Amino acid sequence: MASAPSPVLPRKRGRVRGHGDAIMLTIIFDGVAYGMLLFVLACGLSVTLGLMNFVNLAHGAFAMAGGYITVIMVNWLGVPFAGGLVLAFVLTAAIGAVLERTLYVHVYAKSHLDQVLFTIGLVFMSVAAVDYFMGSSQQFVQIPAALQGQFDVFGVGVGRYRVLIIAVCGLLTVALQFCLTGTRFGCRLRAAVDDQRVARGLGINVGSVFSITFAVGSGLAGLGGALGAEILGLDPTFPLKYMIYFLIVVTVGGTSSITGPFLASILLGLADVAGKYYFPSLGAFVIYTIMIVVLIWRPQGLFARGTAR
């Protein structure tokens, strides 16, 4: 492969270290890890949106909850890291289930404006509450030494922690896909997403399907938040900062399948990492512009089926 700098991608001087292709591979690797993380964070949102047409801007709050639960468990109570991740999933799912039954359930039938207001209110509350209990500074999860540092694969620097993220998120994706396509529950869920009224008519209890999905989606967000604390940073403004990313995944990926958001997440991760490396001065500008263009070009999402609602 040519080692000369690509004419399409003007590189910032002083940043190029070593072989150009190796850097490219590192970027791809980091981008995929980031994208998979985004997918785990956002897939719950895409299902709730597709199923109930419910705009949940507070999804990031669940991710933040997962992150802070891990911080408390691992740093303060000395739970092993893996145990912290599991607890992040379980406890966030429980919080999600409780909130869904007590609060969210009143808002499904209301207008989108009400849903936006309601969930923004929840975001404000979560931000202030976390600030109150945990302080406004950034938190770090203590990661076991075995997961820190990099190792070289054919000259490409590969972060151990990112390998873990790709492995965990990859497994989760496969498991989710299996649940959706291979189990009875997944069958009900897909039926409910496709046409809620007909699904109800066939005797599917859409409400309980939704409750379970909401809890699992929140739990996954919590797990994503716990895993991502290292990469995304964890402070009380997390739900506001990453809200737009989750929404991009959902709107670009569409809400009718799980593969759409998955591809969208990977694309977004790659675009964000590459954009920040090659055009550091532009910041997140690239992503927002791409999002607007996609929304105008295909309002139903890039990977949505033609008949999507």
Partner 1 sequence: MSQEIEAETARYLRARARFGPLEIAFWLVAFSTIWLLPTRHLILTETVIWGLFALSLDLILGYAGIISLGHAAFFGVGAYAAGLLAKHEIINEPSLALLASALVAAALGFATSFLVLRGSDLTRLMVTLGVSLVCLELANRYGGVTGGADGLQGVTIAPVFGLYRFDMFGHTAYVYCLVVLFILFMLARRIVNSPFGLSLKAIKGNPLRSAAVGIAVNWRLVAVCTLSAAYAGVAGGLLAQTQAFASLSMLSLERSADALLILIIGGTGYLYGGILGALIYRLLQDYLSDLTARYWQFWIGLLLVAIVVIGRDRIGNWISPVVRFASRSVRSPAPRRVAGPEQGG
Binding pattern to partner 1, positions 100-119, x when CB under 8 A?
Answer: ---x--xx--x-xxxxxxx-
Find the shortest distance in angstroms from Cβ 99 to partner 1: 11
CA nearest 258: which of 196, 216, 304, 226?
A: 304
Interaction between residue 129 and partner 1 (CB under 8 A): yes
DSSP string, 203-263: T--HHHHHHHHHHHHHHHHHHHHHHHHHHH-BSTTHHHHHHHHHHHHHHHH-SS-SHHHHH
Task: Report how far residue 284's alpha carbon sits from residue 287's, in angstroms, rounded to the nearest whole number.
Answer: 6
Q: Are 141 and 229 in contact (CB under 8 A)?
A: yes
Interaction between residue 120 and partner 1 (CB under 8 A): yes
**Region 139-198 residues binding partner 1, contact defined as CB under 8 A:** none
Interaction between residue 81 and partner 1 (CB under 8 A): no
Q: Is 145 exposed, middle or buried (0-12, 13-18, 19+ CB in 10 A)?
A: exposed
Which residue, 19 or 110, has its beta carbon nearer to partner 1?
A: 110
Interaction between residue 295 and partner 1 (CB under 8 A): yes
Binding pattern to partner 1, positions 252-281, x when CB under 8 A?
Answer: -----------------------------x
> For 103-159, where are the alpha helices, taking DSSP H only?
112-134
Find the shortest distance in angstroms from Cβ 66 to partner 1: 20
Task: Report how far residue 63's alpha carbon sits from residue 89's, in angstroms, rounded to the nearest whole number.
Answer: 10
Q: Which residues bind partner 1 (CB under 8 A)?
A: 49, 55, 103, 106-107, 110, 112-118, 120-129, 131-132, 240, 243-244, 247-248, 251, 281-285, 288-289, 291-292, 295-296, 299
